[in-house]
Chain A
Amino acid sequence: EDQVTQSPEALRLQEGESSSLNCSYTVSGLRGLFWYRQDPGKGPEFLFTLYSAGEEKEKERLKATLTKKESFLHITAPKPEDSATYLCAVYGGSQGNLIFGKGTKLSVKP
């Protein structure tokens, strides 16, 4: 069964305290892994797409990496405005749909 698991469920950091979020997946025929940011009461905002193991992408304080089994979203020196829920999704599988994880709720305190 195609599945996406994100950990931790919630993460509280002090401003400037770097950390990583994990996304583990099982899917037949991965065709892409996506990271989104979701603010409360809003739709997902696209961050990155990764297509193959070893690929890395960066945007400001965020860096996403991909292996054959998982992806990491590294947050370097986070700021309070980085507080949000970060969603991971995979595209592939038998249905060819986006399959989402439950997200990691990140809180960054000043």
Chain B
Amino acid sequence: GAVVSQHPSWVICKSGTSVKIECRSLDFQATTMFWYRQFPKQSLMLMATSNEGSKATYEQGVEKDKFLINHASLTLSTLTVTSAHPEDSSFYICSAGQSHRRDTQYFGPGTRLTVL
């Protein structure tokens, strides 16, 4: 399967600061990227879907002004958590796919965010 990387793998920040997480598709062109959030002992919850060159589509209950997603190229998507608060502490996982096959997603290794 395709290789997807995330950077950083973990980050600790102070409350009120912003954090950017990168998701890279290393060996294929990802027309679609997905961002998930996973709390301890909970399922992966889809936050948003982004298509290259378009605005992201956010799931119900996810604040688009707080979780900024940019998908400017076929190999890179970024998630910026703005004005982070302790309740944003979670495991953020991206996946990459192609728009005509949304069922086939290649997952990144995840980023652990801790907000103090």
Instruction: List B residues at the A interface (Cβ < 8 Å).
Output: 1, 4, 6, 34, 41-46, 49, 91, 93, 95, 102-103, 105-110, 112
Contacts and interface: CB of A to CB of B under 8 A. Distances in A.
A97 interface: yes
Interface string A47-66: 00100000000000000000
15 contacts: A4-B43, A9-B41, A36-B107, A42-B109, A43-B6, A43-B93, A43-B95, A44-B107, A45-B107, A46-B1, A49-B103, A87-B43, A98-B46, A98-B103, A102-B43
A40 B46 CA distance: 19
A43 B46 contact: no
Interface of A: 4, 9, 31-32, 34, 36, 41-46, 49, 87, 89, 91, 96-98, 100-103
Given A98-B46, A101-B43, A102-B41, A31 B112 contact: no
Contact of A97 (B1, B43, B102): B102
Nearest to B108: A43
Q: Which of B103, B106, B109 has the most chain A CB atoms closer than 10 A to its own CB? A: B103
Contacts of B44: 44, 87, 89, 98, 100
Nearest to B43: A100
Please give me the 3 A-B residue pairs with the lowest Cβ-Cβ distance, nearest first: A43-B107, A100-B43, A91-B103
A100 B45 CA distance: 7
Given A44-B44, A100-B44, A103-B43, 12 more contacts: A9-B41, A41-B110, A42-B110, A43-B4, A43-B109, A44-B93, A45-B107, A46-B107, A87-B44, A89-B44, A98-B102, A98-B103
